[in-house]
Chain A
Amino acid sequence: MCGERGEIESHGARLLFIGSGSPRQAADFAGEHCPGVPVYSDPATATYRALGTARGVATTLGPSSLRAGLRAMRQGFRQGATKGNPWVQGAVLVVGPGDRVGYRFLSSHSGDHPPTADVLAAVREATASATG
């Protein structure tokens, strides 16, 4: 999603990350993967539970995850050491201003990402309704 930062910001929205590791790991992640974008940590994974994200060993090590991992490796991605809770899955929320939620994607397994076009469409919708 860091690659879409420019387009997200061009619409007047912002990008941020939340992970389950420590603040130090969050700072390292920002520096290595998406400099300038705020990264927060939620070691207790309370926000993950509130979102309803998938969790469990099967969501991380199941066949879908392995296929996604192989696909990512073929595209040149290499995963580093896991920093944080390895058994929780990710999510994307287009939210705000306020408590208005325009889009929610919950990953069902490792490597399950939302269609970028859907996220950007939700950003355009959110910023248009915020300014209109």
Chain B
Amino acid sequence: MRLARYTPGMDVAALAAITVLDAEGREVRTGDLWADQATVAVWLRHFG
């Protein structure tokens, strides 16, 4: 699936509310990662 530009339908607020773990294992709200700055977020297939 390839979208050159954002297509309405993805619930950005729902994504932003999910927590991930930083390198020390602390929970971080995803939306806080890009709250104040344009961000290129890359979801990796694996850490290999």
Contact = CB atoms under 8 A, between A and B. Distances in A.
A73 interface: no
B40 A21 contact: no
Given A50-B11, A94-B40, A102 B23 contact: no
Interface residues of A, number: 73
Task: Provide the main secondary structure of the chain A interface.
Answer: mixed
A67 interface: no
Interface string A22-60: 010111111000000011111100111011111000001
Interface of A: 1, 4, 8, 11-21, 23, 25-30, 38-43, 46-48, 50-54, 60, 79-86, 88-99, 101-108, 110, 114, 118-119, 122-123, 126-127, 130
Interface of B: 1-7, 10-16, 18, 20-25, 28, 30-31, 33-48
